[in-house]
Amino acid sequence: MAPFWSPEPHHLLVSFLVLLLSLLFCFIKLRSPKTVPNLPTEWPLVGMLPSVVANLHHFHDYTTAFLAASGSSFVFRGPAMHFFITCDPANVRHIFVSNFTNYPKGEEFAAIFDAMGNSFFNADGESWRRQRGRVQHLISSPQLLAYMARCCRDKLEKGLLPFLARMDSLTPFDMQDLFTRFTFDMTAMSVFGVDPGLLTADMPPVIVPDAMEAVMDVGFFRNMVPVSCWKLMKRLKIGPERKLAAAQLELCRFVTEMMEKRGDGSVHMDEEQENSNVEIVSSYIHDPEYIDDQGKPNGFMYATLINYMFAGRDTVGTTLTWLFYNLIKHPHIVSSIRRELAPIAMHKANNSTTMVTFEPEETEPLVYLHAALFESMRLYPPGPIERKMVMTDDVLPSGHKVQRGETILISLYSMGRMEGVWGKDCREYRPERWVKEDGKLVYVPSYKFLAFNAGPRSCLGKNISVVQMKSVVAAMVWNFDFEMVGGYVVEPKPSVVLKMKNGLWAKILKRRIG
């Protein structure tokens, strides 16, 4: 057998040593009494990497500061790293819409998120177009949409609201954990037709959601270090890469378990069974591209189903957490939402002990509730960063030149905090900015409000997720009062998904209406 190091080029070891050197610079920098400047300091050999690592604990706010100082775009240079970072809407429109084909996700993106395999999250070109067409056809099905709405309503009425009712004693609980459980169960029901039961009375451990979070956390780490560094760590099975390997195994185990519970261990079903199933997996289980010679799910199906789980869970769960953070801080906005709900609710409840829920068709026309949701997503987009690769040399509207093979990072988090985009009150949570004088919703182009992506890769599940979130928020706001628990800092964690580092701890009290 060949020696362990022989297949790897020497630059892997060099890159690893460079990273250690950068950490030493970070230590020196953190010990220095000098305040951190808005723009990253560029060091010899290691470039700007030490400055970024030193501020990794508040990366999104740090990025916002230096983008504001540099006019919304910035070139980052590090060891074997060269990123163009922007939050300029004109650049975003060019990259995501006008010149879309020149800015794919790229092979390096697919390598970073290898847990998604060749699914539509990673795919480019013809593979992406084919998979997207299939997803678009699938989620436009009235049967599937009705089933997903039923899954949301059932989990709300039988899981979320009963849990909140049990907590009606001002006992602190983590709302982020609650929404994680709720959206995970709801998404699994839509994908597999099986309820994993994370939001039940016994509240079992969130092993699979934690594995999903690890994928996003390590994905962020891989974005922040030279490729050769994380690949070396992967080969040695150390650090974050060891955590990721365990997470990927757990996700595959979960898919296997769900398929077995629904009876698809070997995906042969009779005609009656096939016609009765409307969940997402049922449209894949007979496709030769997604099964092996024995009729069992292959790697492509596993990756695709995991992709659906991420798409459904992360957007809704993360958005709901930040929305309630904003609502608890602004009780007058809660009052405005309740005034909008009152004409609907007054016809539903016969006494003060009845839980009131709202149907999608009832919440769909509620403009202020919609504005409160979008305003929270403006400040706290569930996916705070997008990554693109340059196919051919180009000049962006900002005047910056980008070269073939270069990486572009788009900061959605920073865009929501740019005065030039949203005005001097850009850091304020103010739903009124989304409402016109005539009471209608303000139209904001997707390249300015990028929470649901823009252009050909815009989110196909946008309408579904908005309907789900509005129904959940309406029921929670109408039936309960919430109060924040003090003594800890609410801040985003450095990850590909904008989760809260310390959760969202709150107390709850059942409203007495009438």
Residue 379 burial (CB count, 10 A): 19
CB contact set of 347 (below 8 Å; sequence gap of 6+): none
Residue 22 near residue 226, CB atoms below 8 Å: no
DSSP class per residue in 255-303: HHHHHHHTT-SS----HHHHHH--SGGGGTTT-GGGB-TTS-B-HHHHH
Tokens 């919430």 map to which residue? 482
* Cβ atoms 482, 328 nearer than 8 A: yes
Q: What tokens does 83 get?
A: 């990123």
Q: Are 506 and 485 in contact (CB under 8 A)?
A: yes
Residue 490, Cα to own-chain centre: how many angstroms?
Answer: 18
Lookup result for tokens 């470039």: 47
**Chain-centre distance of CA 400, in angstroms?**
29
**Taking the CB of residue 96, how many other CB atoms lie within 10 A of it?**
22
Q: Rounded to an integer, what distance in angstroms lies between the CA atom of residue 117 and that of residue 133?
A: 18
Q: Which of 187, 143, 186 lies closest to 278, judged by CA?
A: 143
Closest listed residue to residue 160, CA positions, set 182, 187, 185: 182
Q: In angstroms, rounded to a whole number, what is the distance separating the alpha carbons of residues 384 and 349?
A: 40
Q: How big is the CA angle at 315 (ends 314 and 317), to the nearest 5 degrees? A: 65
Would strands 505-510 and 81-86 be described as parallel, antiparallel, or unpaired? unpaired
Residue 219 has φ and ψ, to the nearest 5°, of -60, -40
Pairing of strands 73-78, 505-510: unpaired
DSSP string, 28-57: HHHHSSSPPPSSPPPBTTTBTHHHHHHTGG
Tell whether residue 426 is among the known ligand binding residues: no
Pair of tokens at residue 467: 């309907």
Identify which of 461, 467, 466, 454 has the alpha carbon closest to the alpha carbon of residue 191: 461
Report the C-alpha gap between 366 and 513 in whole angstroms.
21
Closest of 405, 406, 427 to residue 415, by C-alpha: 427
Measure the CA–CA gap between 503 and 324, rounded to whole angstroms. Answer: 12
What residues form the annotated binding site? 459
What residues form the annotated binding site for heme? 459
